[in-house]
């Protein structure tokens, strides 16, 4: 059964949906730091428990929350094997020339794969419960102080938001072009690496052209709809942060602190 591109916003009224994007973004980075900072089993238990609670609070079904992880099984396996076989360490379990399977390497592999998976799920939760327009507004608000050193903050926020928003669209388009090229004889499954790399040219070139065409069309459409230089842009709603927003920020900061305390123990 086909899965649609992951990471797209799913409408809802859950706690995470209602949380202000200006808080969700910093919370995401704080929790990301907590994931990277996990150094012991208890550290991982803590972040896994926090993410499980967040999935419950998001109201999203578990398969949707972990969908992007399922798409990169192969990549995760490669990361694990690279760490397990080339990390080295003293506790060697088996060796074949320069390749050594060590306990330390396997631990490192599990840690890196675990971090990637947890950060991906966090990212999924963020994008699936936050509208791209909310992300733009939040980014613009958070990087506002940089305006004083000449950074065009509104434009930067808009560029980032559009880039995020177009990932699923481009993935869908890539799938369609891939299908069209397969239909006219392309073979993407060749086992020889040079042949395999060359076989992707019929896919990469049209996708790039399409992305540039889309960018040009979008720029024209935005201009036609009145978008000018983003300076002095007004907002329809100016909502102050709610109690739950302050609460979420505090809890996330505390989780991060606990994580670093666990690291020291």
HSE-CB for 142 with a 13 A CA cutoff:
18
Query: What is the nearest approach in angstroms of other proteins to the Cβ of residue 176?
Result: 7
> Which lies closer to other proteins via its Cβ, residue 107 or residue 173?
173
SS3 track for 206-234: HHHHHHHHHHHHHHHHHHHCCCCCCCCCC
Under rule CB under 8 A, residue 198 binds other proteins: no
Instruction: Choose, by CB under 8 A, the member of 26, 210, 218, 230 that binds other proteins.
Output: 210
Strands 92-96 and 99-102: antiparallel
Residues 115, 120: Cα–Cα separation, whole Å: 8
Under rule CB under 8 A, residue 35 binds other proteins: no
Under rule CB under 8 A, residue 92 binds other proteins: no
Instruction: Choose, by CB under 8 A, the member of 31, 34, 50, 64 that binds other proteins.
Output: 64
Under rule CB under 8 A, residue 126 binds other proteins: no
Q: Which stretch binds other proteins (CB under 8 A): 1-9, 99-107, 114-122, 146-154?
A: 1-9
> Which lies closer to other proteins via its Cβ, residue 3 or residue 242?
3
Give the total of residues touching other proteins (CB under 8 A): 32
Secondary structure class of 71 (helix, strand, coil):
coil
Return phi, psi of residue 199, to 5°. Answer: -65, -15
Q: Tokens at residue 209, please?
A: 């052209």
Under rule CB under 8 A, residue 74 binds other proteins: no
Residue with tokens 């599990």: 110
> Which lies closer to other proteins via its Cβ, residue 63 or residue 240?
63
**DSSP H or E run through 99:** strand 99-102
Q: Which stretch binds other proteins (CB under 8 A): 5-13, 110-118, 215-223, 238-246?
A: 5-13
What residues between 150 and 179 interact with other proteins by CB under 8 A? 176-177, 179
For residues 155 and 123, is the Cβ–Cβ distance under 8 A? no
Instruction: Choose, by CB under 8 A, the member of 77, 93, 205, 254 that binds other proteins.
Output: 205
Under rule CB under 8 A, residue 218 binds other proteins: no
Under rule CB under 8 A, residue 197 binds other proteins: no
Query: What is the nearest approach in angstroms of other proteins to the Cβ of residue 62?
Result: 8
Residues 239, 19: Cα–Cα separation, whole Å: 12
Q: What is the dihedral of CA 129, 130, 131, 133, to 10 degrees?
A: 180
């Amino acid at each position: 059964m086909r899965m649609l591109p992951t990471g797209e916003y799913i409408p809802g009224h859950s706690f995470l949906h209602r949380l202000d994007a200006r808080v969700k973004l910093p919370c995401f980075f704080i929790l990301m730091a907590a994931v990277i900072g996990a150094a012991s089993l208890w550290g991982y238990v803590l972040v896994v428990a926090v993410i499980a609670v967040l999935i419950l609070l998001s109201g999203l079904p578990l398969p949707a929350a972990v969908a992007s992880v399922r798409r990169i099984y192969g990549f995760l396996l490669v990361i694990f094997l690279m760490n397990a076989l080339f990390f080295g360490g003293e506790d060697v379990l088996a060796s074949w020339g320069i390749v050594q399977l060590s306990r330390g390497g396997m631990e490192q592999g599990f840690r890196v794969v675990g971090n990637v998976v947890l950060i991906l799920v966090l990212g999924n939760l963020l994008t699936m419960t936050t509208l791209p327009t909310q992300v733009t507004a939040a980014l613009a608000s958070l990087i506002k102080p940089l305006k004083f050193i000449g950074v065009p903050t509104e434009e930067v926020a808009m560029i980032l938001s559009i880039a995020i928003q177009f990932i699923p669209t481009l993935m869908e388009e890539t799938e369609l072009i891939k299908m069209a090229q397969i239909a006219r004889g392309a073979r993407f499954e060749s086992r020889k690496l040079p042949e395999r790399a060359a076989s992707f040219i019929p896919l990469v070139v049209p996708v790039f052209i399409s992305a540039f065409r889309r960018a040009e069309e979008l720029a024209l459409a935005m201009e036609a709809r009145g978008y000018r230089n983003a300076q002095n842009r007004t907002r329809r709603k100016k909502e102050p942060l709610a109690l739950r927003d302050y609460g979420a920020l505090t809890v996330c900061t505390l989780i991060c602190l606990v994580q670093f305390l666990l690291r020291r123990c």
